[in-house]
Copies of this chain bind each other. A is one copy, B any other.
Amino acid sequence: MNEAEDYIQLTTRLQESNRLGGVMGILHWDQEVIMPTGAAESRAQQLGALAGVLHEKTIHPEMGRLLDRLPRDNENGFTAFEWCNIQEARRDFDMATRIPKTLVTELAELSSRAHQVWVKARAENKFSDFAPVLKRLVDLKIKWAGYVSPEMQTYDANIDVFERGTTQKNITPVFDRLKAELIPLIKSIQESDYQPETTFLSGQFPIDHQEALGRKISEEMGFQFDKGRMDVSVHPFCGGSHPTDVRITTRYRTDNFVESLYAVIHETGHGLYEQGRMQDGRDLPVSEALTMAIHESQSLFWERMIAQGRPFCARYLPSLAETFPQNFKDVTPERFYEAVNVSQPSLIRVEADEVTYPMHVILRYELEKGLFDGSIQVEDLPELWKAKMVEYLGVEPATDTLGVLQDTHWSGGAFGYFPSYTLGAIYASQFYQTLMQTKPDIEKQVEAGNLTPVREWLGSQIHQKGRLLSVPDLVKQVTGEGLNPEIFLDYLKNKYRQIYRLN
C-alpha cells in the first residue's frame, strides 16, 4: 500500500465522520427548534449513541494504522489540501486517544450533571451549590490538558480546542491594551452630556413584519434559502448539517425589533461562512471553518462593521419605515445610526454592546486563567466577579445570578472559549479596515444596497480558505499583519467619540 492509497482511505473515513457529524448537527438543531418537549430524554440517548459512534470512528484502529503509515512531515509532495486533511485527522485522533477512557466518561457525566446543577443554582442564586462541581470540572480539565497537550500550559490546552494556535502569551497583552483604553472610553461615554435618543426603537412590531424584513436583509446579504433555513429558537444560533443545509435562528419580541433583526444579521454572518466553504472537500476537514474567533469575526463583521455602520443604516431606514411606519416617520439615518450604537455598561454579557462586551470577556478570561494557574480559588469567584465588574464597567451585580452564574459555558466544561468572542471582534475590525483599503468605494456600495462585494470579498479571503492556513497566517495573508488590537481600539474610539461628542 502506498501513501496515495493510504490518503484515499483516510479521506473515506474522514468523509464518513463528517457526514455523521452533519447528522449530529440536525439532531441539535431539531432539539433547539422543533422537538416535542416530551422527547428530551430519548433525544439525549440518541445524541449519546451517535456521539459514541463518532468517537469509535475517530479512534478506530485502522485510522491509527493509516496515520502511522502516513508521514509526519510533508516531504512527499502532498498538496496543501491533502496535507491539511492528514494533519486534522492526526489532531483529532491524538486528542481522542490520549485521554484515558475513565476520564472521558467522568468528564461527560460531570458536564451533564453540572449543567443541571448550574440551572438550579442560577435560578436560586446559590453559587455555593455550583462551586463543588465547578471545582471538580476545573480539576478534570487540568488533568485532561496534561494528557492531550502535555507540552502546553493547562489553560492554553483548553483555549487550543476553540482557538488553536493562540495562547495566553498572545491574548494577555492584547487584553491588557483593551483594558487600558476601553475602561476610560466607557467612562467618558457614560459621563457624556450627549446621549442618543432611542425612543423610536420602542413600540409594537408585528412578528410577521419582523420576519419578512429579516429574511429580506438576510437574502440581500447573500444567504441562500435553498441551502438553508431561518427559524425561531430560545437562543439565536447557526447550525445545520452541511454547506448546503445551513440553519440560522432568531427570536422575536413584539416590543423590540432591533434585537431580533441584528440576531438575524449576526447569524447570517455565520451562515455565509458555512455556505461559502470551498467547493472541493466539503465533506473533509480542510473546508471547515477555521476557529471560533474566525467564525465570530464573520458574524460580527456583518453585525457591527456593516449593519451598525452609517451606510447600512442609511440604506435600510426606508425599509424599516415601510415595515414599521408608525415608528420611523421622522427618523433620519443619523438618528437611527446613533440609536443602534448606544453604549452602556450592563451586567449581562450577551446583552452588551461592542464597547463594553470586551470587558465582560476579559473578566472571564482573567478568572479562568487564575483558576487554571491556581492563583484563584473557585470560592473566591463571586467576590472577584463583583470587584472586576465595578473596576471594568462601573456596575455591580446585586446577585450571583446576574454575575458569576450567568453563563452556561463553565457548566459544560468549556473553559477557554470566551476569548474567542473578543478575538473575533478584533479580527472583524482588521478585516474591515483591509476591505476599505482594498475597495475604497465599499461604503458607497453598501449605501446603494449592493452587499455582494462584501460577501464575495469575505468569501474569497476567508470562507473559501477553510483550514488551509493557521489563524495567524490567514490574518497575515488578508491584512498584512497579525492580531492587532490597535485597529479595533481606533475603530471604537473614532466611532464612539463622534457619537458621544467626546473631546
Residues in chain A within 8 A of chain B (CB atoms): 15-16, 19-20, 22-23, 26-27, 30, 34-39, 41-43, 45-46, 48-50, 52-53, 224-229, 241-245, 282-283
- A16-B52, A49-B16 known; A22-B42 Cβ under 8 A: yes
CA distance A38 to B34 in the complex (A): 21
CA distance A46 to B244 in the complex (A): 12
B226 and A36: CB pair below 8 A? yes
CA distance A168 to B244 in the complex (A): 46
Checking B39, B243, B244 against A244 with a beta-carbon cut-off of 8 angstroms, the contacting residue is B39
B244 and A41: CB pair below 8 A? yes
Checking B16, B19, B49, B226 against A23 with a beta-carbon cut-off of 8 angstroms, the contacting residue is B49
Say how far A43's CB is from chain B's closest CB, in angstroms.
Answer: 7
CA distance A241 to B45 in the complex (A): 11
A46 and B34: CB pair below 8 A? no
CA distance A226 to B227 in the complex (A): 29
B contact residues around A242 at 8 Å (CB): 39, 42-43, 46
B contact residues around A16 at 8 Å (CB): 49, 52
- A36-B225, A53-B53, A244-B41 known; A26-B22 Cβ under 8 A: no
B contact residues around A19 at 8 Å (CB): 42, 45-46, 48-50
Checking B23, B37, B225, B229 against A46 with a beta-carbon cut-off of 8 angstroms, the contacting residue is B23
CA distance A22 to B50 in the complex (A): 11
B contact residues around A50 at 8 Å (CB): 19-20, 23
A227 and B39: CB pair below 8 A? yes
A36 and B228: CB pair below 8 A? yes
B contact residues around A42 at 8 Å (CB): 19, 22, 241-245, 282-283
